[in-house]
Chain A
Amino acid sequence: ETGVTQTPRHLVMGMTNKKSLKCEQHLGHNAMYWYKQSAKKPLELMFVYSLEERVENNSVPSRFSPECPNSSHLFLHLHTLQPEDSALYLCASSPGRAIKPYNEQFFGPGTRLTVL
């Protein structure tokens, strides 16, 4: 039990669909992150939110749209995705503000996304 939950755990969608991934942290943390993990590749940081404000957007295509309504919840809205977007999407949270030297991140179990 990591204190970070993600739903759904698995998602299959067509290229014309619109779907959303949800992340919730129960740890009282102030920063939340979205990562993409593709097979045989390093985790790629997508977005960072600190105190509900986006502080990092790593050149992610606009077909991925994050939303952070409060410090406990983070969403990733998906539309018109491509098959190469199929991957494991991991959410993480950390205690302090995102830009801080020591910042252990606690990960959720991820959503396995398949785009057909």
Chain B
Amino acid sequence: GQNIDQPTEMTATEGAIVQINCTYQTSGFNGLFWYQQHAGEAPTFLSYNVLDGLEEKGRFSSFLSRSKGYSYLLLKELQMKDSASYLCAVNQGGKLIFGQGTELSVKP
């Protein structure tokens, strides 16, 4: 079956670093997406990994290990505006299978 797990909630302090983990067990794999979703808004694309390793984009980085079925999103120099839900999604031939999302709260 399909299973994508992420922590439900996380809290971190402004200026700190936080890592949001995602593990997956799916019948097919064509890459993994991370999306950010602020309350009441559309999910917006953050990153895409299809090969093992780290992809860095400004304050955000995403890592993938296909053999372990594992990814993480790393957020550095946290800002208050980073408070949002972070969605991990596995791409199966163009279809996205989503995890339940991790609600991140950034405190002053």
Contact = CB atoms under 8 A, between A and B. Distances in A.
User: Main secondary structure on chain A at its contact with chain B?
Assistant: loop
B75 interface: no
A107 B44 contact: yes
Contact of A98 (B4, B41, B42, B94): B94
A90 interface: yes
A53 interface: no
A102 B101 contact: no
Interface in A2-46: 2, 4, 31, 40-45
Interface residues of B, number: 26
A101 B31 contact: yes
A105 interface: yes
B100 A41 contact: yes
B43 A101 contact: no
Given A42-B98, A42-B99, A43-B98, A102 B50 contact: yes
Interface string B70-92: 00000000000000000101010
A40 B8 CA distance: 8
Best-buried of B42, B45, B93, B94 by chain A (most CB within 10 Å) = B94
Interface residues of A, number: 29
B64 to A, nearest CB: 14
Nearest to A41: B100
A62 B56 CA distance: 44
A90 B43 contact: yes
A66 interface: no
A13 to B, nearest CB: 20
Given A101-B94, A104-B45, 20 more contacts: A31-B94, A40-B100, A42-B98, A42-B99, A43-B89, A43-B98, A44-B98, A45-B95, A45-B96, A45-B97, A94-B94, A96-B94, A97-B94, A99-B93, A99-B94, A99-B95, A100-B93, A102-B91, A109-B40, A109-B41
Closest 10 pairs between A and B when the two form their complex, measured CB to CB: A107-B42, A101-B30, A43-B98, A42-B98, A103-B94, A109-B42, A42-B100, A99-B94, A107-B43, A100-B94
